[in-house]
């Protein structure tokens, strides 16, 4: 009987081949156990509810439970840091937003994660902001508002919900774009701010379309413009800022699904397909549309491009406002 022995070089080559094949085999077998989606917002909110519907659909398709866990606080940074430190194996995922990836890195000095710590999987949905004004304001359209504001420098009051909040940034952007000067009035939330806009205690608020649309329908506010690329089905008579000659005012709040950087490409591709399939479900689409959101699944590359674009959009505004947070 003759025996053949591998040379040391052949043994090394075989070891490298096996090592390279192991992650591929693991990715092809994925998932073999439950998956966790970390939600950086409190339970019960609109984003949380959509994430749970998404998780249920994905779990049914993948054949493994997909569980949503909440890690709210610190402007989404608690949840983001948790996922950034997780193994890149496809079993810990993250619902991230423009706040997490475009704004926080520009504003916080002691942020403990980097955009590069994550792999985009797919956009889920986005929603624009609206320029919502008091019904007592003596204007009927955007052009009249700008003319009115130019005659009242420093005396037009913009409700904001915190330093670096989207409504503060949009207010400053409009100051720059239109040559007006509004003053910020801080509130503890968009609910109290909207109530004061309705009552005429403050002039305006850049608000999410999901809350401004019902107020507009009830005749309690006026909406002069929307920040979406095209008119919203929720308020089709309201022009976009781009239509009005302010294309730089095109912006939205968005959120999507992310995995830790280094997650196997096969797993990312599978997750992307699962998100697309889940978002075709009527119950999820109905929920998103009822909240004023546009369902917008896409590629990992397009989500990465959105992050980069928003950083370029908000960066100069954050710098101009000298926002540096701990």
For 48-99, how does the pLDDT look when each residue is reduced to its tens digit (9 = 90+)? 988 999 999 999 999 999 999 999 999 999 999 999 999 999 999 999 999 9
Model confidence at 18, pLDDT cuts 50, 70, 90, reads low
Query: What's the rounded Cα separation, in Å, for the pair 182 and 193?
Result: 16
CB neighbours of 323 closer than 8 A, spacing ≥ 6?
106, 107, 163, 164
Model confidence at 280, pLDDT cuts 50, 70, 90, reads very high
Query: What's the rounded Cα separation, in Å, for the pair 14 and 5?
Result: 13
CATH number at 128-249 = 3.40.190.10
Residue that has been written with the tokens 């002069």 in this structure: 224
How confident is the model over 226-233, as a mean pLDDT? 92
Q: Write out the residue limits of the CATH 3.40.190.10 domain(s) in the chain.
A: 128-249
Measured distance between the N- and C-terminal CA atoms of the chain, rounded to whole angstroms: 74
What's the confidence (pLDDT) of residue 25?
A: 52
Mean pLDDT estimate for the chain: 91
Residue that has been written with the tokens 């003596």 in this structure: 138
How confident is the model over 273-279, as a mean pLDDT? 97
CB neighbours of 165 closer than 8 A, spacing ≥ 6?
none
Highest mean pLDDT, choosing among 26-35, 47-56, 191-200: 191-200
Token pair of 31 as six digits: 């998932």
What's the confidence (pLDDT) of residue 291?
A: 79
What's the confidence (pLDDT) of residue 21?
A: 47
Q: Write out the residue limits of the CATH 3.40.190.150 domain(s) in the chain.
A: 34-127+253-320
How many CB atoms are closer than 10 A to CB 320? 13
What's the confidence (pLDDT) of residue 286?
A: 87
CATH fold of 34-127+253-320, please? Answer: D-Maltodextrin-Binding Protein; domain 2 (3.40.190)
């Amino acid at each position: 009987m003759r025996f053949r022995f591998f040379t040391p070089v052949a043994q090394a080559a075989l070891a490298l081949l096996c090592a390279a094949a192991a992650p591929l085999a693991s990715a092809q077998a994925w998932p073999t156990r439950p998956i966790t989606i970390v939600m950086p917002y409190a339970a019960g909110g609109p984003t949380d509810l959509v994430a749970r519907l998404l998780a249920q659909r994905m779990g049914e398709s993948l054949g493994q439970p997909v569980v949503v866990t909440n890690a709210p606080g610190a402007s989404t940074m608690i949840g983001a840091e948790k996922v950034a430190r997780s193994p890149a194996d496809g079993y810990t995922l993250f619902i991230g937003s423009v706040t997490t990836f475009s704004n926080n890195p520009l504003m916080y000095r002691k942020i403990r994660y980097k955009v590069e710590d994550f792999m985009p999987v797919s956009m889920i949905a986005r929603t624009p902001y609206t320029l919502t004004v008091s019904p007592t304001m003596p204007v009927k359209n955007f052009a009249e508002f700008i003319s009115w504001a130019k005659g009242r420098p420093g005396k037009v009051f913009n409700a904001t919900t915190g330093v670096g909040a989207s409504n503060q940034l949009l207010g400053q952007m409009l100051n720059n774009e239109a040559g007006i000067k509004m003053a910020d009035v801080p509130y503890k939330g968009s609910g109290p701010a909207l109530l004061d806009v309705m009552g005429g205690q403050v002039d305006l608020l850049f608000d999410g379309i999901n809350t401004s649309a019902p107020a507009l329908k009830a005749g309690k506010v006026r909406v002069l413009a929307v920040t979406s690329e095209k008119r919203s089905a929720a308020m089709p008579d309201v022009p976009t800022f781009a239509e009005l000659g302010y294309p730089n005012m095109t912006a939205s709040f968005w959120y999507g699904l992310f995995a830790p950087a280094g997650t196997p490409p096969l797993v990312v591709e599978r997750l992307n397909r699962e998100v697309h399939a889940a978002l075709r479900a009527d119950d999820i689409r109905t929920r998103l549309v009822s909240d004023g959101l546009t369902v917008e699944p896409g590629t990992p590359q397009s989500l990465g491009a959105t992050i980069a674009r928003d950083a370029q959009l908000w960066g100069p505004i954050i710098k101009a406002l000298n926002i540096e947070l701990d």
